[in-house]
Amino acid sequence: MEPNSFNRPFKRTGERVLGIIGLVFNVLGIILTFALNNFMKMMTNDPQFQQEFEAEIWNDPNLTETDAQAIIDMMYMGMDWMVSFGWFFIAALVISTVLIVVALIQLNKNSKLSGILFIIAGVLAGILSLTSILLYIAGIMCFVRKPPVVAETAYDNDPMRPL
């Protein structure tokens, strides 16, 4: 009896590899965003940095007093905004990472669910980032790739099959 190539389980190696790469990029994004957030928070709370920055702005001969004060105020407001947005981005990446892990676990059991989870994780990882594009491709592959159809005949192992 020769082995039938259609009896092997359908492998989703491509989807799995793209999902794992997306997972690694998400974890790196979480680590880098966390480090950047802490650096920005440290800079805004450092009095020496504040004094040096303000001194540079006040000593610029091209700026009026109101312009210099506006730049200083906008810098502090912008740094606070960036720290707040950084925490939002970290939360979105953590949720995206959890969705990728669930999608990878469910990949061979329920490919449609995995596809949906990959696409949602891609949106949370950033609409057009490299990570999201990889996750979109993995999600689309989950929907498009189908296991091959096995054509079974009624005479496979029947000793009375017709000649």
Distances (CA, A) of 131 to 20, 22, 77, 102, 120: 10, 5, 30, 17, 12
Q: pLDDT in tens for each of the 163 residues of the chain?
A: 445 455 567 889 999 999 999 999 999 999 999 999 999 888 888 889 888 888 888 888 888 888 888 888 888 888 888 888 999 999 999 999 999 999 999 999 999 999 999 999 999 998 889 999 999 999 999 999 887 776 665 556 666 666 6
Cα(43)–Cα(78) distance, integer angstroms:
12
Cβ atoms of 112 and 143 within 8 Å: the answer is yes
- Three-state DSSP at 101 gives helix
- Amino acid at residue number 85: F
Write down the residue that tokens 């450092």 correspond to: 46
User: What DSSP line would sit under 44-98, residue for residue?
Assistant: HH-HHHHHHHHHHHHT-TTS-HHHHHHHHHHHHHHHHHHHHHHHHHHHHHHHHHH
